[in-house]
Amino acid sequence: MMQEKAANETLLLPFELEKERTAQKKRIFYRSQDDYFFAGVCGGLANLWNMDSTLIRLLYIFLTIITGGLMAIVYLILMKAIPLEPLD
């Protein structure tokens, strides 16, 4: 029983810890500076969810039409609330 528990636990070396922190850092929602059409919100969502930004934009346009423009207001709020992606 004790051996199974030890086998399942993994110890991370210092360089692996840094790699894991970097991977977690990439999961933060930023407005994209590379993939933007208007303000980078859809590009940032695409980076966060590992999806194509064109698909996100099409879905966003569809939702804007369905909600009668409510998603356009949400976009404007996100544009002001979400920070730009830092330049590394």
Summarised one tens digit per residue, pLDDT across range 48-86 is: 899 999 999 999 999 999 999 999 999 999 999 999 988
Q: What pTM value is reported for the model?
A: 0.65
Task: State the total domains in the chain.
Answer: 1
Task: Give the torsion sign (CA, 52, 88, 33, 68).
Answer: positive
In a domain, 24, yes or no: no
In a domain, 19, yes or no: no
In a domain, 12, yes or no: no
In a domain, 11, yes or no: no
Our CA dihedral for 29, 34, 36, 40, rounded to 10 degrees, sits at 20
* Residues of the domain holding 73: 38-81
CA angle 29, 56, 44 (to 5 degrees): 20
In a domain, 77, yes or no: yes
